[in-house]
Chain A
């Protein structure tokens, strides 16, 4: 399949080059812009100045988190849209973000992260993990046969956890409410270097594993019956993919809060330009998601400098507008 492979390489090269350029631009821009030549000088001289600290300790980690989160959320979106054969599904539909938000809210309200040396993301992961476990057991133990029912249950779980979340907020003190709401709005800021690297590894591994399953995704998008008759172990593949998408989402949400829209829009956007073959769509979505989020973060940081907008707001606005424009043009 020479021609297809060539097309694959070309698409991905273009995307990777775009990503590198955007990352470079993101490194140069901030409260005060660092022009490129200065950037190179600072990097190579490794001067122990404020500029170097800002570059390496503030801007670079944000870019890394952006790549990891943007990529992982887009991946989860691609997987879920293929498994549920529903173009409106996104990583938060299954209630995982609701569970993570609930975990974080409980942690903040009961001050668990101060009394025990456990971090906030941990509670986010526990909350997300509970929801993942619930969904997985409903799916794997044949309680719910129909995948569309599973989706509905996920939506209900989302509503339930959101209501509990609101309950906790209404009973909390104003300081705590403040922290909780702020966390919910999403931010690419993560001070812990180890966590950033961990997130990056999880995200990249997720991309690798998903692309291994990309042909299976192609077959699955024909429908479960057809997939079965084409020799696919539908149950098994579905379980693996659901767990994969859930874990990717859970990680992203517990570390960076709720950054919506990325998982919904990026796969559609990629499909508009690169076709529906998941061999391309999976990895292209990863890179495009990274580009998208870094761009949005850049906007969020510089538009009303020195103040910063929460990333989630910019992704919603910018993403929505771009997508509508692209749809109308086609």
Chain B
């Protein structure tokens, strides 16, 4: 798991199990995340990806197992301190209030607020500005959040999480409902954060190729358990994907980055192409015999 022994382990999960309702079920999850690395979590719907993210923040009660952040159990942190370290961007966050974007992002500074502090400090404002600059949404600053497009909303969510100045960044399907430009923008941004700020990132993705492109490691989940994990080459194999997704793919490679790429094929097309190649073989043999 830990190829680079010099890197500090930020998050370590061992034998984590949750069994709340039929919604939240995890069994025997174990993995670690080092600093300045990006871990992608992939798997079919309902395999427990979002649950895993929520469990790491301490949102969901766990039955057994340990989660350790920076070598201390999560439970030993009080909620406020934990939010200074871990930030999460969820899909279910509704941006339906009529708050201004800049105020919304300032709310991300809440973990740093002292009890009797009424107004935000200069420090807080700086962080918020920084977050807006990095996500390039400065032009949206005076708009109301309920009047933004899907892509803009996503950027705002990320900006708010960034204002928390976390070391561990959790994202739940941040590229959903986004056009390719925005998808690329977000993932490039995350990459930058990883390198420049030494952030550790845990990201849930549906798009296997995006995951392969941007993540250092992948965790493939199925039915609340880890099916396999490792680098993209090891995880994104025909057999793995067939067993977990019950879908056929053809393994390939991104021509520029040389990272693993999977091509989706439908069964009909596959049968057609097999039939075609058989035809070709037949005609080849026929030709050869003639």
* Interface, chain A (partner B; CB < 8 A): 1, 4-5, 212, 214-215, 218-219, 221-223, 225-226, 228-233, 276-277, 279
Contact = CB atoms under 8 A, between A and B. Distances in A.
Contacts of B119: 1, 4-5, 279
Contacts, number: 58
A221 B113 CA distance: 17
The interface residues of chain A, by DSSP majority, are classed as: helix
A8 to B, nearest CB: 9
Nearest to B57: A229
A150 B246 CA distance: 43
A228 B59 contact: yes
B107 A219 contact: yes
A80 to B, nearest CB: 16
24 contacts: A1-B125, A214-B118, A215-B113, A215-B117, A219-B107, A219-B110, A222-B93, A223-B93, A225-B59, A225-B90, A225-B92, A226-B93, A228-B79, A229-B59, A229-B83, A229-B87, A229-B88, A229-B90, A230-B111, A230-B164, A232-B110, A276-B98, A277-B103, A279-B118
B81 to A, nearest CB: 8
B94 interface: yes
The interface residues of chain B, by DSSP majority, are classed as: loop
Nearest to B99: A276
| Most chain B beta carbons < 10 A, residue from A4, A228, A229 | A229
B91 to A, nearest CB: 11
B103 A230 contact: no
Nearest to B103: A277
B187 interface: no
Contact of A221 (B82, B97, B111): B97
B107 A218 contact: yes
A231 B83 contact: yes
Interface residues of B, number: 30
A279 B113 CA distance: 14
B80 A231 contact: yes
B225 interface: no
Nearest to B157: A226
Given A232-B79, A233-B79, A1 B90 contact: no
A148 to B, nearest CB: 14
Nearest to B100: A275
Contacts of B111: 230-231
Nearest to A277: B103
B94 A231 contact: no
Nearest to B86: A229
Contacts of A222: 93, 97, 107
A256 B99 CA distance: 36
A219 B120 CA distance: 13
B108 interface: yes
Given A218-B107, A229-B83, 6 more contacts: A215-B113, A219-B110, A221-B97, A229-B88, A230-B107, A231-B81
Contacts of A229: 57, 59, 83, 87-88, 90
Interface in B173-198: none
